[in-house]
Amino acid sequence: MRQIFFDTETTGLEADKGDRIIEIGCVEMVDRQLTGNNLHLYINPERASHEDALRVHGLTEAFLADKPKFAEIVDQLLAFLAGAELVIHNAPFDIGFVNAELRRLKRGVLTDHVASVRDTLLMARDLFPGKANSLDALCRRLEVDNSKRTLHGALLDAELLADVYIRLTRGQDALLMDDHGDSGGDAHAAFEAVDLSRFELPVIRASEAEAAAHAKLLIDLDKAAGGSCKWRVLEPAPVVA
C-alpha cells in the first residue's frame, strides 16, 4: 500500500475567507516502510499571513515572494499524490485548503485524485478518549522525538506524523504477517488443533514452611477485616472421614 503523510502551512485558518496555502509537505510510505521519496513545496500565496499564523510557521512575505504560485505546482502535486492513501492529522483542515486552491483552478477536489484519506486525529481520539491529541501531544505520549519542532513546518510535521502513525498502528497487522513481514495468504486459514490432554502439567505443592506462612497471613487478614477474609472462600472444605 502506498501512503502519503500530508501536511500544509497556511496564511491563516479560514480557507473560505481567502487564506491560502504557503507550504506543503508529503512523506511517502510503501508497505509501512518510508521510501525517502518525499515532496516539499513552498508556495507564494499572493497575500500576507495573519500575525498569529506567522508566529506559528515563521514564513514571511519576503521569503515566499519568489516561490511559485499554486497554479504552477498543482500538476506536480497531483501527480505525486495520485492513487495514494493520504494520512493527515485533522484532515478536514488541510483538505479544505487544498480543495479551495483546486476550485480556483477548476481542477475538482482532492478526493478525485487520491484513493482515500485517513485522519489520525480521529484515530487518536478513539484510542485516547478525553486526552489531548494534538500532534505534539501524541509525540510525547508515543515517545516520538519532536525536539526540532520549534516552528511548525509542513515537511517536518509530515515526518513526525509518519512516526506517530506507525506507533499508533503497531501490531495491527501482526496476525497477517509472514516471516518476511509481508501480509498475505488467507486471514481466516485454519490452524492445526492441539490436543492439550496429552500434556501432564506439574503440580508444585507448598512446603510446610510456606503453608504455615500462608496460614499466619490469613489470620492477620481476618483481624484486619474484622471477620473471615475472602481468601477463606478459596480454602478446600475439610474432608469427612
CB 57 within 8 A of CB 49: yes
Confidence label for 238 from pLDDT (cuts 50, 70 and 90)? low
- Give residue 188's pLDDT: 47
Model confidence pLDDT, tens digit, residues 22-57: 999 999 999 999 999 999 999 999 999 999 899 888
Q: Kindly tell me if the per-residue pLDDT of 234 is higher than 80.
A: no
Report CA torsion sign: 219, 220, 222, 223: positive
Span 129-140, average pLDDT: 93
CA distances from 187 to 36, 52, 179, 190, 216 (A): 31, 50, 15, 9, 53
The predicted structure's pLDDT at residue 170: 84
What is the per-residue pLDDT for 194? 65
Give residue 204's pLDDT. Answer: 83
pTM of the model: 0.69
Share of the chain above pLDDT 70, in %: 79
The answer to whether 24 touches 56, Cβ cutoff 8 Å, is: no
Beta strands in 20-138 (DSSP E): 21-30, 33-34, 39-42, 85-88, 116-119
Supply the pLDDT for residue 182: 45
Residues labelled as active-site residues: 152
Q: Who's near 184: CB < 8 A, 6+ residues apart?
A: 176, 178
Q: Domain coordinates of the chain in residue numbers?
A: 2-176
6 contact partners, CB below 8 Å, separation of at least 6: 24, 25, 26, 81, 86, 87, 88, 94, 158
Going by pLDDT thresholds of 50, 70 and 90, the confidence category of residue 164 is very high
The class level of CATH for 2-176 reads alpha beta
Query: pLDDT tens digits, residue range 171-207?
Result: 554 333 344 444 444 444 455 666 666 677 777 888 8
Does pLDDT of 86 surpass 80? yes
Where residue 93 falls among pLDDT bands split at 50, 70, 90? very high
